[in-house]
Amino acid sequence: MDFKPCVNIRKEWDIVGARQLGREKAKEIGFGTVDQARIATAISELARNIYLYAGTGKICFEIVDDFEHKGLQIIAVDEGPGIRDISQVMEDGYTTSGGLGAGLPGVKRLMDHFDIISEVGEGTEIRASKWVR
């Protein structure tokens, strides 16, 4: 495991900052164009959810390099309202904001590993990783 750079999400343009840093990391690790696009899109979804539903939070990156996997982990953390029913928000089309409701299930499909921990009133932490093939 490597050091952990983070981007704070406070305003809409911070989403772009997080995306750029993530893409840079992905390029460094050796991901191809398609995976870079997948990673950038996943960051965009998670960062926008923070901006929309929690107000503020951060996106951190961890380079994974152990005997099992080599890749990038995105960690999205906020201290927002939390999610009551996780299986519900993981359904395609579920949205409370009139969006497409494809963000979270989409991130799960874009990435190789997806983990979500949330507590109502406490916040949400999502970890999503992609492995280099």
Partner 1 sequence: MNKRLEEIVVENSDVIIKHWLEQVSEKRKSDYTSAISDELFRSTNREFINLIFSSVDKQGFTTELDDFSERLINLGWPLSYLTDGLQTFRRVTIDFILSQSEKIDSDRFSDVLDMVDKWIDPIINRLVNEYSGSWEHTVSLQRVALQELSAPLIPVMKNITIMPLIGTIDTERAKLIMENLLDGVIKHNSEVVLIDITGVPVVDTMVAHHIIQASEAVRLIGSTCILVGIRPEIAQTIVNLGIDLGKFPTKSSLRKGFETALELTDRKIVHSKEKDQTIENLLDSLDKG
Ligand X SMILES: Nc1ncnc2c1ncn2[C@@H]1O[C@H](COP(=O)(O)OP(=O)(O)O)[C@@H](O)[C@H]1O
What are the C-alpha distances in Å from 6 to residues 57, 93, 101, 121?
A: 10, 29, 26, 23
Cα separation, 24 vs 39, whole angstroms = 10
**Nearer residue to partner 1 within complex by CB, 30 or 119:** 30
Site string for ligand X, 83-122 (x = CB under 6 A): x-----x----xxxx-xxx-xx------------------
Closest residue to bound ligand X by CB: 103
Residue 47 near residue 18, CB atoms below 8 Å? yes
Residue 34 touching partner 1 (CB under 8 A): yes
Segment contacting Mg ion (CB under 5 A): 59-67, 69-77, 101-109, 116-124?
101-109
Cα separation, 25 vs 27, whole angstroms = 5
Segment contacting partner 1 (CB under 8 A): 1-9, 76-84, 103-111, 121-129?
103-111
Cα separation, 65 vs 15, whole angstroms = 26
Helices (H), 9-82: 14-29, 33-49
Residue 39 structure tokens: 């990673």
Give residues 23-82 in contact with Mg ion (rule: CB under 5 A): 49
Residue 16 interaction partner, one of Mg ion, partner 1, ligand X, none, beta carbon < 5-8 Å per kind: partner 1
Q: Which residues bind ligand X (CB under 6 A)?
A: 45, 49-50, 53-54, 78, 80-81, 83, 89, 94-97, 99-101, 103-104, 124
